[in-house]
Structure 1
Amino acid sequence: MQSIIKQAPAAHSEASRLRLSNATARLGALLLSSTLVVCAPLSSVWSASGDDKAPKSTGGTFDKANDIPPRLQWTANFGYCGEVSFISAGLYYGQYVSQYDARSIASKNADQSKEGSQLLLGVNDAYAASQMHLNAVQWKSTSTADPKNFLAWVKENVASGYPVIISVFENRHSFDGSNDENAGDAEYDHIVQVTGISSKHPLSKPSVYDADDVMTLSDNGLWSPTGQPAYVYRYASGAFQANRKEANSETHPIYSLPREGSNYGVAITGIIDHDGKTLPVRLSTDRKFEKPAMREGSNTRPQAEDLTLTVMVSGLTPGLSYKLYRYSSFQSVPSSGFNASAAKADRTWTINIQAGSTYIVKEKIRSDQIAVYRAVPDTAP
């Protein structure tokens, strides 16, 4: 077995008890804990790539891959996997926020060195999405594990083009050599993004579970057996499921979907736009990490660096006029009436293309800034 570089633990065992309480208590609570960890060597039931590109198809005829490049999470302060997952989803819909601010939003400005400050599925994910002006659909059942129906739900949302964020077990034996078959959290250890699906069957609605479907996921760079994160993994749906003991076995892969207990997931289906007038906006960044990273035990924001954003607006019609707005805080972002609220934007572009259907602009910001972009026709409210 390769030696593992142990990363700072992340936590949420106390969240297990919180999730058993009512929804109001869960969403309002900030008490979480236990361990998010690094994981295991490769096995035959799955594959991992050594870079940030998904491996080739394993023979599926029907494929859907969403344009969600992986990003590197901070590992201090119990891990920022939930935060990075929401950042990636936000970029997909035209907005950038740092890991520090994503946690601050989710935790209502709690001390980030505390276990209860994390952005966790089943605890404060819906609240975080609403504060980031994102529409979120949570997996409907968390009272008991339902992996086949859960994976069908994941499949349908990925095939619909939505970022999907789920919770997984990690192989604690492979991570730290633990011989405790029950090591790790009883509910989940880590939060990852499902970015693609490959199936031998049409990706039609309603989706159905197929054990040979292959999911592509990003682990936010947490597993680093060689000093370089692998980021991208592929799992067959049937082989992906495990109970806590199986997930920790020497022969099991790095990540597993809990087959017992509860399943947690959220699909980010778009931005909040009550008028339904916004156009698709997507951001990409010139780097997939934030450095310097957060220091363990610190609540102080790390020093910021320059960051270049590429903003792409699509769905444009030549000859028509549009407005692209940029906001520097989520509090300034309208939920409707974008043109009527133009004064809330920090910058405005007028778009009037003569050919094609896209418009691209680059902007330089600091990595500790918030940048939210919305595009609407001139005729929108």
Structure 2
Amino acid sequence: MFVAYLLYMHDEYYDHIMPAIGIRFRDENKYDPDDVLIYFNLYHQRLIERTMNKNDLAATRKTCRKHCGEGGCIPFDIDFGIAVTGIADEDHVTLPVRLSASAWDEPNLHPAYNQSPTEMNGIVTVRDLIIGRTYVLLRYSSYEYVPTKGTINDFLLSKFDEKHKFVANDTIYIYEDPKKIPSTGSVYYRCVSQSEE
């Protein structure tokens, strides 16, 4: 999540909050002005891609010349951003998991807008599988229940809400979760091998 100034708006601190959904980078451990931030502006259903340098994405309140459709400007020398890096797996027993939701926007629950919460479909992609091995995809409704360290068995004995067992027939597995994701809630997935090898 990050904040942005928008052309034709005048708030001193920021005008809009937007979700960043990806970054294309050369080196994940250092800043490069040619890295690309990928995000939605929450007004239009299209991705915005901007380079992360002061000639494109960053600006001051006075120098911002990008309207909402162009993705606005990140305030220069002000840090309101939040980096969501995920819940740590200190012992590296889980596999890479990515969640895609069916909605690109969400209802505004402020009473002035009179919008209701919605339910979204979730598609989970698991990577780095070994063909023929059995895996368990675990779904949690709170980050508080997701283990941050431990063995595979610690994950399998944790306080998950749902589990989905599958045998890998490829190195990537795509799962359409039949249980909806509420727009007012959160959901977390972890995938582990069925048993420790």
TM-score (normalised: structure 1) = 0.41
The question of whether the paired residues in 2 share the 8 Å contact of 1:324 and 1:348 is answered with yes
Q: Distance in 1 between matches of 2:101 and 2:45?
A: 19
Q: CA deviation at 1:281?
A: 1.2
- Kept in 1, the 8 Å contact 2:4–2:16? The answer is yes
Distance verdict in 2 for CA 1:276–1:301, change over 3 Å: farther
Which of 187, 191, 194 aligns to 1:375? It is: 191
CA contact (8 A) 1:304 1:366 kept: no
Displacement of 1:374 after TM fit?
0.8
Cα distance in structure 2, aligned partners of 1:328 and 1:303: 17
Query: Is 2:39 the counterpart of 1:218?
Result: yes
Alignment partner, residue 313 of structure 1: 126
Find the counterpart in structure 2 of residue 232 from structure 1: 47
Post-superposition offset of 1:280: 0.9
Contact 2:122–2:180 under 8 Å retained in 1: no
Task: Give RMSD over aligned pairs.
Answer: 3.4
Distance 1:312 1:189 in 2: 34
Q: 2:6: which partner in 1?
A: 170
**Which residue of 1 is the match for residue 17 of structure 2?**
191
Question: Relative to total residues, which structure has the larger helix share, 1 or 2?
Answer: 1
Is 1:265 the counterpart of 2:81? The answer is yes
Whole-Å Cα distance in 2 between the matches of residues 285 and 372 of structure 1? 12
Letter in 2 for 1:319: G
Report if the CA contact (8 A) 2:95-2:128 is conserved: yes
Point out where structure 2 has 5 or more consecutive residues left out of the alignment. none
TM-score scaled to structure 2, two decimals? 0.72
In structure 2, the CA distance between the partners of 1:240 and 1:281, relative to structure 1 (3 Å rule), is: closer
Establish whether residue 346 from structure 1 lines up as the match of residue 145 from structure 2. Answer: no
User: Residue 323 of structure 1: CA displacement?
Assistant: 2.0
For the residue of structure 1 that corresponds to 2:178, the secondary structure is strand
Aligned match for 2:61, one of 228, 239, 244? 244
- 1:360 aligned residue: 174
1:1-381 → structure 2 map (5 Å cutoff): 85=1, 166-171=2-7, 173=8, 175=9, 183-185=10-12, 187-192=13-18, 193=20, 195-197=22-24, 203-204=26-27, 207=30, 209-210=32-33, 213=34, 215-222=36-43, 229=44, 231-236=46-51, 237=53, 238-247=55-64, 252-254=65-67, 255-259=72-76, 261-291=77-107, 293-296=108-111, 302-305=116-119, 307-337=120-150, 339-343=153-157, 344-353=159-168, 355-368=169-182, 370-380=186-196
1: distance between equivalents of 2:115 and 2:45?
27
CA spacing shift, 1:356–1:194, aligned 2, 3 Å: closer
Structure with greater strand share of residues: 2
- The 3-state SS of whatever aligns with 1:319 is coil
Rounded Cα–Cα distance in structure 2 between residues aligned with 1:328 and 1:207: 33
Cα-to-partner distance string for 1:281-336 (whole Å, 9 max, x where unaligned): 11223333345x414359x993544x322222111112333222122333332223
The superposition leaves residues 260-279 of structure 1 with CA deviations (integer Å, 9 ceiling, x where unpaired) of: x5234343334321221110
Distance 1:301 1:347, change over 3 A: farther
Question: Secondary structure of the residue that 1:364 maps to in structure 2?
Answer: strand
Q: Any idea what SS the aligned residue of 1:340 has?
A: helix
**Deviating runs (4+, > 6 A) in structure 1?**
none
Aligned-partner Cα distance in 2 for 1:325–1:266 = 26
Provide the C-alpha distance between the structure 2 equivalents of 1:241 and 1:295, rounded to a whole number of angstroms: 29
Return the structure number with greater relative CO, CA threshold 8 A, min gap 6. Answer: 1
Aligned partner letter, 1:190: H
Distance in structure 2 (CA, Å) of the matches to 1:366 and 1:205: 33
Distance in 2 between residues matched to 1:380 and 1:342, nearest whole Å: 11
Q: Which residue in the other structure is 1:143 paired with?
A: none
Contact 1:290-1:367 within 8 A present in 2 as well: no
